Amino acid sequence: MPKLAYFTTIGQTRWEEHVTAAPAVAPRLRGIRRRRGLVLAALLAALGVAVLLSITVGAKAVPLADAWQALTAPTGTENDIVIRSLRLPRTALGVLAGLALGVAGALMQGHTRNPLADPGLLGVTQGAAFAMVAAIILLGAQSLLAYIWFGLAGALIASVGVFALGMVGGRGGPTPVTLALAGTAVSAFLYALTSAIVLLDEQAMDVFRFWQAGSIAARGADVLWQVLPFIVTGLVLAMANAPGLNALSLGEDVARGLGQNIALTRGVGVAAVTLLSGASVAACGALAFVGLLVPHVTRPLCGTDHRWLLPYSGLVGAALLLLADVIGRVVAPPGELEVGVVLALLGAPFFVALVRRRKPVRL
Amino acid sequence: MTALPLRVAGLSWQVRPRGTAVTLGGLLLLALLMALNMRLGDIPMSVAEVLRATFDPADAGHFVVMELRLPRALTGALVGGALALSGAIIQSIARNPLASPEILGVTTGASVTVVAGVVLSGSAYGGASGLFSALGIPALALLGGLAGAVTVYALAWRRGLDGYRLVLVGIGVAAVFTNVKYWLLTVGDVNDTGRAMVWITGSLNGRGWEHVVPVGLALAALVPLTLLGTRSLAALRFGDDTVTALGVRTNLARALMILAAVLLAAVATASAGPIAFVALAAPQIALRLARCPQPPLLSSAVVGAVLTTGADLIARTAFSPLELPVGVVTAVLGAPYLIHLIWRARK
Q: A140: domain CATH number?
A: 1.10.3470.10
Residue A49 within any structural domain of the chain:
no
Q: Which of B234, B261, B275, B267 lies closest to B80, judged by CA?
A: B275
- Which of 22-81 (A) contact B at CB < 8 A? none
Report the number of distinct structural domains present in chain A. Answer: 1
What is the tens place of the pLDDT at every residue in A85-132? 788 889 999 999 999 999 999 998 888 888 878 888 888 889 999 998
Q: Which CATH number fits domain B99-274: 3.40.710.10, 2.20.25.190, 3.60.10.10, 1.10.3470.10?
A: 1.10.3470.10
Query: Rounded to two decimals, what is the model's pTM?
Result: 0.79
Tens-place pLDDT, residues B262-315: 999 988 888 888 887 888 889 988 988 888 878 888 899 999 999 999 999 998
CA–CA dist B325, B330 (Å, integer) = 9
Q: Determine the distance in angstroms separating the CA of A148 from the nearest CA of chain B, rounded to an integer.
A: 19
pLDDT in tens, B194-228: 888 888 888 888 788 888 888 888 888 888 888 88
With beta carbons under 8 A apart, name residues in chain B contacting A117.
Answer: 98
- What integer pLDDT is reported at residue A174 of this predicted model? 65
Would you say residue A181 lies in a domain? yes
The CA–CA distances, whole Å, from A241 to A33, A101, A165, B213 equal: 21, 16, 22, 55
pLDDT at A170: 52
At A359 the pLDDT is: 65
Q: Give the residue extent of every domain in chain B.
A: 99-274, 277-347
pLDDT band at A15 (very low <50, low <70, confident <90, very high): very low
| Mean pLDDT on B84-95 | 88
Q: Which residues 47-76 of B have a C-beta within 8 angstroms of A?
A: none
pLDDT average, residue stretch A296-324: 90
What tens digit of pLDDT does each residue of B19-48 get? 888 889 889 998 898 888 888 877 777 877
**Residue A50 domain-assigned (yes or no):** no
- By the 8 A CB rule, do B156 and A357 touch? no
CA distance A72 to chain B (A): 38
The per-residue pLDDT for B242 is 78
Residue B339 has its nearest CB partner, among A117, A165, A199, at: A165
Which residues in A lie closer than 8 A to residue B325 (C-beta atoms)? 195, 199
Phi, psi of B109 (to 5 degrees): -60, -45
Instruction: Give CA–CA dist A29/B105, Å, rounded.
Output: 34
The reply to whether residue B175 touches residue A344, judged by beta carbons under 8 angstroms, is yes
- Chain B, 298 to 317: residues with Cβ < 8 Å from chain A are none
Q: Averaged over B134-139, what is the pLDDT?
A: 72
Task: Find chain A residues with C-beta within 8 A of B329's C-beta.
Answer: 192
In a domain, A44, yes or no: no
Closest chain A residue to B99, measured at CA: A116
Closest CA to B121 of B132, B107, B105, B108: B132
Task: Tell if the CB–CB gap between A205 and B193 is shorter than 8 Å.
Answer: yes
A116 contacts B96 by C-beta, under 8 angstroms: yes
Residue A9: domain span: 2-15+56-357
The reported pLDDT for the residue numbered B135 is 61
Average pLDDT over residues A325-349: 85
Any idea which of A108-117, B69-78, B128-137 has the lowest mean pLDDT?
B128-137
Residue A96 located in a structural domain: yes
Q: Judge whether A351 is closer than 8 Å to chain B, CB to CB.
A: yes
* Euclidean distance between CA atoms A10 and A168, whole angstroms: 30
Lowest pLDDT segment from A12-16, A54-58, A244-248: A12-16
Q: Which residues pair with B151 in a beta bridge?
A: none
What distance in Å separates residue B344's CA from the closest CA in chain A?
8
Amino acid at B137: I
Cα B315 from Cα B203, distance rounded (Å): 9
Least CB–CB distance from A196: residue in B186, B324, B342: B324
B323, B339, B340, B344: best mutation site toward chain A, by most A Cβ within 10 Å?
B339
Please list, in sequence order, all residues whose beta carbon lies within 8 angstroms of the beta carbon of residue B97, skipping any fewer than 6 positions away: A177, A180, A181, B91, B284
What is the structure's pLDDT at A23?
45
For the stretch B232-248, pLDDT in tens is 777 777 777 777 787 77
Cα of B107 to nearest chain A Cα, Å: 16
Predicted local confidence at residue B306, as pLDDT:
94
A41 within some domain: no
Residue of A nearest to B103 (CA): A116
B318-347 residues touching A, CB cutoff 8 A: 324-325, 327-332, 334-336, 338-339, 342-343, 346-347
Per-residue pLDDT band at A14 (split at 50, 70, 90): very low
- Taking one residue from A and the other from B, the number of pairs with CB-CB distance under 8 angstroms is 166
Please state the rounded mean pLDDT for residues A333-344. 83
Mutate to test the interface with A, among B341, B346, B347 (most CBs of A within 10 A): B346
Rg, C-alpha atoms of chain B: 21
Nearest to residue A346, comparing CAs of A319, A318, A327? A327
Residue B120 confidence (pLDDT): 77
Give CA–CA dist A34/A15, Å, rounded: 13
The pLDDT of residue A160 is above 80: yes
Tell me the H-state helices in chain B: 17-39, 47-55, 62-63, 70-94, 106-120, 129-135, 137-156, 163-187, 190-201, 209-228, 230-235, 240-245, 250-272, 278-290, 297-317, 326-346
**How many angstroms separate the Cα of A310 from the Cα of each of A48, A211, B112?**
18, 27, 33
Span A34-75, pLDDT tens digits: 788 888 899 999 999 999 888 888 777 778 777 777 777 778
**Mean pLDDT for chain A overall:** 81
